[in-house]
Amino acid sequence: MLDIKTTVQFREFQTNEVQTKLNWVDRIEPKNLDIKSVVTIKNSHELSLTIQPQDHVQHEWLEIYLEPQAKLSLTISQDTTSQSAFFIRLFQSESSQSDVLFRNKTISHMVIQVDLNEAAATTKIRGLLEANQSQELTIDTIVTHHAPATESNQLIKTILYDDSTTEFNGSVLIKPSASKAVAHQVNRNLLLSDTAKALTRPHLRIQTNDVECSHGATVGQLNDDELFYLQSRGLMHDQAKQLLIEGFAQLDFTN
């Protein structure tokens, strides 16, 4: 957690559906600035939130509490920041829904942790890492099912160029109190270089019966047959390659 022995500034955040208050905690150290923001979404309200990590911030923490039947759509969008770590923590109450989407090219380490604390809470986590040169990017997801009939779906993809490395650590825990839980986790990795490396560690721990769970990971390169087919249709090699990469990067659960 961040040290909170500093100036606290309150800023209003307004959406069409709900008004909430962000609690920003700024901590200045010799070479970095840390920010913590805390959001509460009230009963049956909806919040659509887009976060763009700031270039001068090294560590950022976002904590969101979803009250019963609250809905959250969270997008993490960035291309150029030099931020080293971004932490997201969600606490979900009964029948709340969260949908987290991120595309990361530069944040060294992202952590997304979700606690499904009450019955029928659901979460979706979709994300894409793109690494090139000698970059090393890590994503950790930690989802805990504490209550019955909770549901989580995760789809994490990586695209790697040059000598880059990505690491996925995915943890799903089904507690003894979470009967009839549903949890699915998929990690797909596309290597566009012989020297790129994708490390994948999906982990599923089940402590009760009557659940529906799956997890898996794939690591591969572009399909030569698909490249040949597109080129036979008149596309140049680079155009065909880019089209396949863009298709892979789609973040829907059917792809």
On whether the CB atoms of residues 165 and 197 are closer than 8 A, the answer is yes
Cα 228 from Cα 208, distance rounded (Å): 48
Cα 252 from Cα 153, distance rounded (Å): 11
Distances (CA, A) of 33 to 4, 51, 53, 227, 233: 13, 17, 12, 46, 52
Which pTM was predicted? 0.85
Lowest mean pLDDT among 27-31, 46-50, 149-153, 246-250: 27-31
> 46-64: b or e for each residue (b if 16 or more CB lie within 10 Å)?
ebebebebeeebbbbbbbb
> How many H helices and E strands in the chain?
2, 16
**Tell me: the pLDDT tens digits for 39-73?**
999 999 999 998 877 666 678 888 999 999 999 99
Instruction: Work out the percent of the chain whose per-residue pLDDT is above 70.
Output: 82
Mean pLDDT of the 171-196 span:
96
Lowest mean pLDDT among 104-108, 170-174, 181-185: 104-108
**Tell me: the pLDDT tens digits for 213-227?**
999 999 999 999 999
Give 195 or 86, the one with higher predicted confidence: 195
pLDDT at 203: 92
Q: How many CB atoms lie within 10 A of CB 4?
A: 10
Please name which of 222, 217, 218 lies closest in space to residue 245, comparing C-alpha atoms.
222
Domain boundaries, the chain: 8-221, 223-255
Order of all β-strands in the sheet with 97-104:
46-51, 71-77, 97-104, 122-131, 151-160, 182-191, 212-220
**Tell me: the pLDDT tens digits for 199-254?**
999 999 999 999 999 999 999 999 999 999 999 999 999 999 999 999 999 988 66
pLDDT for 8 beyond 70: no
